[in-house]
Amino acid sequence: MVKLAEWRGKELFRKYGIPLPRGHVARSADEAEAAVRSGAVPLPCVVKAQVLAGGRGKGGAVRFANTIEEVRESATAILALEFKGERVKELLLEEKLPIAKELYLSLALDRGARVPVLITSAQGGVEIESVDDASIDRQPVDPFPGLAAYEKRRAARMLGLTGAARAALDRLLDAVWTLYNREDAELVEINPLAIVGDGLVALDAKVIIEDDAAFRHPEYAEIRDDRTPLEEIAREKEIAFVQLDGNIGVIANGAGLTMATLDVLKEFGGRPGVFLDLGGTDDPKKVTEAFLLMAQARPRAVFLNIFGGVTKCDTVAKGLVEAMAQVPAGERFPLVARIRGNNEKEGVEILRHAGITSIPTLRESAQAAVAAAGGAP
């Protein structure tokens, strides 16, 4: 999922002709001041933290400034914020427009219905989750013909727009629809969509690009960063490692066996946490490295499920025993193993020497792993 910061969303809005306040991005109080002095942003203006979390308005991350001094003050204050765990590194400065009313509008993929849904509400400016259901209209849209005239009419009625504002809404809806499709978005949200004079202006922008289409968008490669610190280390070491929120660590090889192992643990009431896929490695050092990374995630128990092919059982066993010895005493955890396939005998023997029994069947070994992690909840 590629969540775009407001200013990036607004760059897309500009590209598709969605009306915006005049604005400028700044990364320091000096840059903020310069943006106003140069006339790129007229006073009075709005200074907004560019963080991905919502609720900035209520949380002091959106401020208004009437003078250059206030711009500096607001910029400095917001840049010092850690907003919902995220350091503020960028600001968006925008002209402050006279708002007659704040509306809500979004086009969002409904995975259940398998179509985009046009969502509108006359109660904009607050988080949509806090608006009562009766005040929200949801229209599923057939993706092939796109927005129909009657759907636009219904949106206009819902938002209470007539005359010039109604025409502005029609243009805006076409732009949102085109952006959503051409940019592979799964969400385009404008909240608030402000009535200013007899026109409409997007005061906020939330755009999420669909993960499955991210490969078509190299422009977002640098911001596509939802890895945990351990996953980041793993990536550098070229280890396939994913952190979920369960408490059983899984080490398997091959995507198929790894996924199946997670499923089986779940089946027996376990909560798989970190998993790593040794893939086709046949280097005990690599196994050691991977295991130590797993240990840092502090699992309650680890389930090793290996089918020896290119990755031979004794290679894995060697690497593992080596790694176990390196885990500090206070951070040890029970290990349940099932290793089958190439060089199975040798592998099982190496494990036995280290006091680990390999359980040959999947059912029993998975159950043992769930029990070792404290049992099913």
Active-site amino acid positions: 104, 189
* Bridge partners for 185 per DSSP: 209
**Phi then psi for 338, rounded to 5 degrees?**
-140, 105
Q: Which is nearer to Mn ion, 125 or 199 (CB)?
A: 125
Picking from 332, 280, 267, the residue whose alpha carbon sits closest to that of residue 306 is 280
Q: Which residues bind ligand GDP (CB under 6 A)?
A: 21, 46, 48, 54-57, 62, 94, 96-97, 99, 102, 125, 191-192, 203-204
**How many angstroms separate the CA atoms of 304 and 350, rounded?**
14
Q: First vs last Cα of the chain: how many Å apart?
A: 30
Q: Which is nearer to Mn ion, 124 or 347 (CB)?
A: 124
Least CB distance from residue 334 to ligand GDP, whole Å? 45
Does 288 participate in binding Mn ion (rule CB under 5 A)? no
Does 50 participate in binding Mn ion (rule CB under 5 A)? no
Least CB distance from residue 68 to ligand GDP, whole Å? 18
Given Mn ion, ligand GDP, none, residue 62, with its beta carbon under 5 to 8 Å by kind, binds ligand GDP
* Bridge partners for 218 per DSSP: none
The three-class DSSP label of residue 211 is helix
Q: Which is nearer to ligand GDP, 192 or 347 (CB)?
A: 192
**Alpha carbon 154 to chain centroid, angstroms:** 32
CB 230 within 8 A of CB 243: yes
Given ligand GDP, Mn ion, none, residue 56, with its beta carbon under 5 to 8 Å by kind, binds ligand GDP
Would you report the helix, strand and coil content of the chain in percent, each value rounded to 5?
40, 25, 35
The three-class DSSP label of residue 359 is coil
Q: Which residue is nearest to ligand GDP (CB)?
A: 57
Least CB distance from residue 148 to ligand GDP, whole Å? 29
Does 204 participate in binding Mn ion (rule CB under 5 A)? yes
Interface ranges with Mn ion (CB under 5 A):
191, 204
